[in-house]
Amino acid sequence: MTGPSIHANAICESRHVGGGTRIWAFAHILPGARIGADCNICDHVFIENDVIVGDRVTVKSGVQLWDGVRIEDDVFIGPNATFTNDPFPRSRRHLDAHPVTTVERNASVGANATLLPGVTVGRGAMIGAGAVVVADVPPHAIVVGNPARIRGYASGHVSVRSSVPTVEPESRVPLVGGAMLMRLRVAEDMRGRLSVAEIGNGLPFPARRLFIVHDVPSEEVRGEHAHRACHQFLVCVSGRIKVMLDDGQERAEVTLDDPALGLHVPPLVWASQYRYESNAVLLVAASERYDPDDYIRDYAEFLAIVASHGGEDVNGSPADR
């Protein structure tokens, strides 16, 4: 690969710029910055010293990357996106160390979005134009607004099944990674409706633990983890929630809005619940007692574990391997 291409009207003081990277007019890169290969640094971009930019990154015009910013491979940063690195700035006051703000691989930051100090934007996430990101963004999430809220999930480099066929009474619809959406048996008369799940007939495992999620104060994401051994069975007994399932190769989004609709989530399936209605009540049956060591809370670790269990091309991108 050839060396970097630096415009005559750019100032590049760093010696750590990868081959094939293009730095355009009026960009200014300080000596301590490290820029990967095959990047596109557009006009009027400023990059401070304690900044690391991966390979194949696009930084559009009017962006400043301040100390503490980490940009991983294949990230897109839209024009005039704003990064911050001091939670309580004062003139002529300097921090000894800046919070680390990370944008993980394959994520995109829309035009004029603002990221507060110390947040992590998960891999494959999409930050909408003008969004104000005040908290970590889950992998593949689409967030918009001020403050930014999840409004869906991006397909990234894997296929997403966002629509699930109608689930007929007492039938089952396979999703991803062995997950199953099923219609429970319902008894109905003039006194009301009764949804029934028996072990082996609706409930696919003996339940050792029950818990209820309710009074969720906002639409923020919950769950966002996988289990090593525990099976779960989710029923939204009131209101509506959305669930995104991810087996490392494929994702599926389902809506739980009927107490006769159950979702079986087996081990090694990443599950995120979001867009809770204010009156939503989620009942969860689990096959195991609570064990913090059974949880996989880091998405990168989840992908590695899936791959070690025989998954191939777990994230669909050659650049991710």
Residues forming the active site:
225
What number of other Cβ atoms are within 10 A of residue 92's Cβ? 4
Do residues 132 and 149 touch, judged by C-beta distance below 8 A? Answer: no
Question: Rounded to the nearest 5°, which phi and psi values hold at 312?
Answer: -115, 135
Return the CA Rg of the chain.
Answer: 23
- Tokens for 315? 């994230």
Backbone phi and psi for residue 107, each to the nearest 5 degrees, phi listed first: -80, 160
User: Can you tell me whether residue 16 is helix, strand or coil?
Assistant: coil
Q: What CA–CA distance (Å, rounded) separates 99 from 26?
A: 27
- Residue 315 CB-density burial (10 A; 0-12 exposed, 13-18 middle, 19+ buried): buried
Beta strands 180-183 and 261-265 are antiparallel
